[in-house]
Amino acid sequence: MLAATTSTHCPYCALQCGMNLRPTEDGGVDVVERTDFPVNRGALCGKGRTAPAVLSSRVRLTGPLIRRHATGGLEPATWEEALRAVADGLRRTRASHGPDGVGVFGGGGLTNEKAYTLGKFARLVLGTSQIDYNGRFCMSSAAAAHTKAFGVDRGLPFPLEDVPRTGCVILVGSNLAETMPPALRYLTELRENGGKLVVVDPRRTRTAEQADLHIAPRPGTDLALALGLLHLVVSEGRVDEGFVASRTTGWADARAAAMSHWPALVERITGVPVPQLREAVAMFCDAESGMVLTARGPEQQSKGTDTVGAWINLCLATGRAGRPLSGYGCLTGQGNGQGGREHGQKADQLPGYRKLDDPEARAHVAGVWGVDPDTLPGPGRSAYELLDALGRDVRALLLMGSNPVVSAPRAAHVEERLKSLDFLAVADVVLSETAALADVVLPVTQWAEETGTTTNLEGRVLLRRRAITPPEGVRSDLEVLHGLAGLLGWEKGFPTDPEEVFDELRRASAGGAADYAGISYRRIVEEDGVFWPCPDPGHPGTPRLFLDRFATPDGRARFVPVTHRASAEETDEEYPVVLTTGRVVSQYQSGAQTRRVAELNAAAPGPFVELHPRLAERVGVAEGDPVAVVSRRGRAVAPARITTAIRPDTVFMPFHWPGEGRANTLTNPALDPTSKMPEFKVCAVRLEPAGG
């Protein structure tokens, strides 16, 4: 007799779509529609439908691996041997190079419990400041801008259900049709309800085709575009003076900065005609309410924080913030990108979104952990800075749930830095390209084999529930950290029961910006998720932030004056074309999991270079011809995909694949000075026929 279905959530993007898992006769599970979950209402993309394929022992790791010096290859080992090898490698490096000689690199797919425990392990057991995670590459620029303006960062300060009921949405640098397909219905419903949709993207994507107005700026000029729109808002008398006076500060300086970006100048910078700028302002301001939603396009730039800040300024000046059905929001990408940074994986943060350099924050968390606050290390390096330091200052690395060989900027350099380490341990579900370089590989459980919470892009805390038993040779990340902590002298403080960890996380987050104190596993199940902040069990949670006050000391939102500046790398005679990168619907992030699913590979079998027919003619390539894309950092080769849906001065490559077609071989690691986000979305390249 097979057990009943288990209600849970998809392991991929930050929608965290609800699904049911039904056991099969062979011990696996099938995905069954779950219509009662409000975010996706039963809809799933191909990745979600095929997610159980990665549970198969044919494609995933089922036992530890150790690199044997005799052969140089990874070979099977026992768990006892593998954990001892990791503990010895970390201990040896600490003894030789000090605590900061050891680094920890996490992932935005880890549950809240794992992210919390990994941060605690790094700071207590290893004593290192050198911890960050791949979520730094996701929405760190939006997080920084959100915090500057509103006092707290939550991807969406309102639930997705509000989107179809607003009057106008400006969607900047997001292709929801391919990155979050079930969310596209919210934009469809928006237009059915009479609302307007403006899409800003250098490509005419499937999402842009749904828009009332598609604006296609040159990559890297979103900051100028936002400032140009704000200039028109001022010059056309569309500022909500009452809102600005009563609920904001800093308007005079932000206004002055915007007024230096007059429409004709913005047209020259962005390539967007002035009439389109005026049309966008009219759509946004004529509606009774409005939202600006940004994603990686404007955020993954060396000026990403300022760019998002400019879009927030547009919302504040027009009164499109802190009111029902209005506001600025960021479409978080990774499955637990929101929760992953809230509870201790980021180099500068402690659980509850507390700042690591805040004495009160340190004292609170140290009290929960039962240690002296002075023993906690200070802030460390951001993600790319940490990867760049490998083999130099940082000599050993524990990596969990990330694949930087494919996903990091200047990826060939990062690969070499990983190879230069004295010791590398990787805990993952599959033998990723990064795991293949490790000295020890630890196979861990995945979504359907474990219980734990995630926090979706709305700030809704959800519960993924275990549906099947993992293979015998696999352990949970919590069990891995428990075992390593014990071998390194910490017998207590690292439980393996996720609910016990979550209860400690609640205490650690209490009173912080991301307060989970009132959230329990039981409440999550009963209420289809609970929105933070939720400071006590009697609190209803907070689906809509800022309606009464912003999370700043005086309750007012802050305008931050910003001005346009060039990208870190502009085109020239040698590199005359702009490369921008992104995702396709049938693959996810570095592809470590989705590239192991036959159905998804059939739909998206490999990389490609998308270019305009005029550019293809100049280069001398036809549809399907191999084309080389060359930047100052390297060379990638992939088939040409010729389309008029992209600007003639721009090429696009998806970043899911390793090897010859690895897009991140080309990308620029120039960092935003505030968020430390690399400039994935803009770099200068040239194109050459690859022959053959």
Average pLDDT over residues 376-403: 97
- State the pairing for strand pair 396-400/423-428: parallel
Distance CA 356, CA 644 (A): 48
**What is the identity of the amino acid at 479?**
E
Q: Which two tokens stand for residue 581?
A: 């990168």
What are the beta bridge partners of residue 355? 349
pLDDT in tens, 34-64: 999 999 999 999 999 999 999 999 999 999 9
- State the pairing for strand pair 29-32/18-23: antiparallel
pLDDT over threshold 60, residue 362 = yes
What is the structure's pLDDT at 3?
A: 57
pLDDT in tens, 76-100: 999 999 999 999 999 999 999 999 9
Q: Which two tokens stand for residue 499?
A: 């609910």
Distance CA 264, CA 272 (A): 10
Closest alpha carbon to 428 in 474, 361, 372, 395:
474
pLDDT over threshold 60, residue 452 = yes
- Residues 102 and 475: beta-carbon distance below 8 Å: no
Average pLDDT over residues 242-252: 98
Distance CA 228, CA 263 (A): 6
The pLDDT > 70 percentage for the chain reads: 99
pLDDT in tens, 655-672: 999 999 999 999 999 999
Closest alpha carbon to 399 in 368, 378, 416, 421:
421
Q: Which two tokens stand for residue 393?
A: 């200052």
Closest alpha carbon to 19 in 48, 58, 60, 47:
48
Closest alpha carbon to 612 in 572, 645, 579, 573:
645
DSSP 382: -
Distance CA 438, CA 345 (A): 21
Query: What spatial distance separates the first Cα and last Cα of the chain, rounded to whole Å?
Result: 57
What is the structure's pLDDT at 692?
A: 54
Number of C-beta neighbours around residue 413 at 10 A: 16
Full set of structural domains in the chain with CATH = 6-55 (2.20.25.90), 65-137+336-531 (3.40.50.740), 140-331 (3.40.228.10), 577-689 (2.40.40.20)
Place of tokens 């010791």: 423
pLDDT-derived band at 691, boundaries 50, 70, 90? confident
Average pLDDT over residues 518-535: 97
Closest alpha carbon to 445 in 463, 472, 424:
472
Distance CA 121, CA 280 (A): 49
Distance CA 2, CA 613 (A): 56
pLDDT over threshold 70, residue 483 = yes
pLDDT over threshold 50, residue 1 = no
- Residues 449 and 429: beta-carbon distance below 8 Å: no
Distance CA 304, CA 676 (A): 9
Distance CA 215, CA 170 (A): 10
- Residues 303 and 681: beta-carbon distance below 8 Å: no
pLDDT over threshold 90, residue 680 = yes
- Residues 104 and 131: beta-carbon distance below 8 Å: yes
- Residues 381 and 347: beta-carbon distance below 8 Å: yes
